[in-house]
Amino acid sequence: MREIVFDTETTGLDPRDGHRLVEFAGIELNERVPTGRHLHFYVNPGRSMPPEAQAVHGITEDFLADKPGFAAHAAELCAFLEGATLVAHNAQFDIRFLNFELEQCGLSPIAQELVVDTLELARKRFPGAKHSLDALCQRFGIDRSGRVVHGALIDAGLLADVYVELTGGRQIGFDLAVSVMEAHVGEVVDWPMRSWPIPAEEIAAHEAFVAGMKEPLWLKQAGSA
């Protein structure tokens, strides 16, 4: 079964209020195991970045100034998502923005039946508990030390691990890896591990991006603690 675990960042809460998508990241899973394939891009929203949104994800207008609009990524995105079940945390938020952008390009929206919401899965499994991505990572012992700010690629990687735990745990990927290894006895098989390996160049780019930010919100909070 092919699935795409994805996340988005935006300028605000609702496209009907003039807000737009500014970042998309999706990670491909096959039978709950990362394949190593992903899609990640930034979008120039054609509007200003509200300070409250920038405080969440750290993406500035200057950073987005030379990025193309969503239409430049639409065909690649549709090809990447085709035939897959889509997985997101609080999925209605992300799907609302994706469908708005797709419809602006004259493309068909994503059907609701193709979407799995990990927030709903978490609420059913752990009623009364905290269900944020951070809380679920802590519950499952998933390392989130690289999550300095909200970023679509980092969050999608964390969510992929959370999703595996919510739908059966590590044994799913382990059993599949064992079956593949048995089928390739005597061969060197480069099989992906459970945790999503973020490419080194993207980690370096993210660190450089964070280092160049002026007075980020988390440092102000730390100074006032």
Summarised one tens digit per residue, pLDDT across range 201-214 is: 555 666 666 666 66
Instruction: List the alpha helices (DSSP H) in 65-199.
Output: 71-81, 91-104, 118-125, 133-140, 152-166, 170-183
What's the whole-number average pLDDT of the chain? 83
Considering only residues 145 and 180, tell me which one the structure prediction assigns the higher pLDDT.
Answer: 145
Which pLDDT value is given to residue 182?
Answer: 42
| 108 residue type, one letter | S
Percent of all residues in the chain with a pLDDT value above 90, rounded to a whole number: 70
Residue 170's pLDDT band (boundaries 50, 70, 90)?
low
Q: Can you tell me the mean pLDDT for 13-39? A: 96
Which pLDDT value is given to residue 105?
Answer: 97
Rounded Cα distance, 154 and 146, in Å:
8
Question: Of 193, 207, 121, 200, nearest to 161 (Cα)?
Answer: 193
Distance of CA 9 to the CA centre of its chain: 9
Clarify whether 150 is annotated catalytic.
yes
| 9 residue type, one letter | E
Residue 119 DSSP SS3: helix
Which pLDDT value is given to residue 144?
Answer: 82
Query: CB of 9 within 8 A of CB of 31?
Result: no
Domain ranges of the chain: 2-224
What are the tokens at 100? Answer: 């708005």
Residue 177 neighbours by CB under 8 Å, 6+ apart: 33, 191
Query: Residue 178 CB: number of other CB atoms within 10 A?
Result: 12
Beta bridge pairs of residue 2: 30
Residue 166's pLDDT band (boundaries 50, 70, 90)?
very high
Residue 105 DSSP SS3: coil
pTM, two decimal places: 0.75
Q: State which of 68-72, 165-169, 209-213 shows the largest mean pLDDT.
A: 68-72
193 has pLDDT over 50: no
The CATH H-level superfamily of 2-224 is: Ribonuclease H-like superfamily/Ribonuclease H (3.30.420.10)
Query: CB of 37 within 8 A of CB of 67?
Result: no
Considering only residues 128 and 177, tell me which one the structure prediction assigns the higher pLDDT.
Answer: 128
Q: Can you tell me the mean pLDDT for 104-114? A: 96
Percent of all residues in the chain with a pLDDT value above 70, rounded to a whole number: 73
Query: CB of 118 within 8 A of CB of 161?
Result: no
Determine which one of 131, 150, 184, 206 is catalytic.
150
Considering only residues 149 and 12, tell me which one the structure prediction assigns the higher pLDDT.
Answer: 12
Rounded Cα distance, 195 and 27, in Å:
11
- The residue written with tokens 């089928």 in the block is 183
What are the tokens at 110? Answer: 């994503």
Beta bridge pairs of residue 7: 25
Residue 174 neighbours by CB under 8 Å, 6+ apart: 194
Q: Can you tell me the mean pLDDT for 104-115? A: 96
Which pLDDT value is given to residue 145?
Answer: 78
